[in-house]
Amino acid sequence: MKNIGIFVKQKHPYAANVAREVAAWLEKRQRQVFFEETLAATLGREGFPAEVLPGKVDLIIVLGGDGTLISVARAVDELQVPILGVNLGRLGFLAEVTLADLYKVLEKVLGGEFTVSSRMRLEALVRRHDRLIGRFRVLNDVVINKGALARIIDMETWVNDVYLTTFRADGLIVSTPTGSTAYNLAAGGPIISPELHCLALAPICPHMLTNRPLIVSDDAVIRVRVQFRDEDVAFTADGQVGIPLHGGDEVEIRRAKIGTVLVKSPSKEYFEVLRKKLLWGGQQELPC
């Protein structure tokens, strides 16, 4: 790996300094370093737009947390550039390499001694009167959600063109196994091991107690038609981008053809991260 890209969490108090140190370490090893343009401006270096940089590198280092890594994965899109997530705060599900382990892990990565995890993504199409108004590819989840003052939404839902039900709820989450530990988990959905091939549907605060989370095959095509009047309802992708919805809009969700490639930490396994993140097996309890 000769060309390395670096992204950081914006406004993090010391992320830019870490990026400067990592770049110097890589350049001493005859690697060319490419910086995202906002970071580059901070460091006084040449930079590239987020959507351009992935096409120039063999590896991307993300200094931040899971949210930063998810935004970078969206920029990488279908290029399949491996992403090494370095957590600068609390333990992350995706950015699982700690700052203390960073250089040890980088030595192995530069030497080709690393493994990757290919994470499934979703593609979501939003249509209004049969006209495509939005296309999104996501790593975690897509969410249909009402505003604070909106009433319950009716969401007519089909799986592979077979009518499933009409969810009457505050919203609906469709998540990948990677996203199962995000909003899906908070809404009472299942935790899914990332190597499984499936999708999870979780209604948010359903009006009917019989509307429960559901797991379907990853080859399923999910179609949701929203029905409401004069309400504040939105579609969001990975909790970071989205568009407002109108009554009658349809959202179609399926597995994306190409996933996201993450460099695995050699010192942490998924279930170890899960146990530590959720404080399982200890005396502590999750805060209310």
Q: How confident is the model at residue 147 (pLDDT cuts 50, 70, 90)?
A: confident
Domain parsing of the chain, residue ranges:
3-119+259-277, 122-255
Residues in CB range of 135: below 8 A, 6 or more apart: 123, 124, 125, 126
Residue by residue, DSSP assigns 187-253 as: TTPPP--TTS-EEEEEEES-SSTT---EEEETT--EEEEEE-SS--EEEEETTTEEEE--TT-EEEE
Please tell me the pTM assigned to this model. Answer: 0.92
Q: What is the mean pLDDT of the chain?
A: 93
Residue 288 has pLDDT above 50, yes or no: no
Instruction: Give the pLDDT of residue 151.
Output: 81
Residue 285 has pLDDT above 50, yes or no: no
**How distant is the alpha carbon of residue 133 from its chain centre?**
22
Structure letter (DSSP) for residue 264: P
**How distant is the alpha carbon of residue 192 from its chain centre?**
14
Identify the CATH homologous superfamily for domain 122-255.
Probable inorganic polyphosphate/atp-NAD kinase; domain 2 (2.60.200.30)
pLDDT in tens, 10-26: 989 999 999 999 999 99
Q: Can you name the CATH fold of 3-119+259-277?
A: Rossmann fold (3.40.50)
Provide the pairing of β-strand 131-138 with 141-146.
unpaired
Which residue among 58, 66, 161, 170 is the active-site one? 66
Residue 66 annotated among the catalytic residues of the structure = yes
Equal fold, 3-119+259-277 vs 122-255 = no
Residue 286 has pLDDT above 70, yes or no: no
Mean pLDDT value of segment 122-141: 97
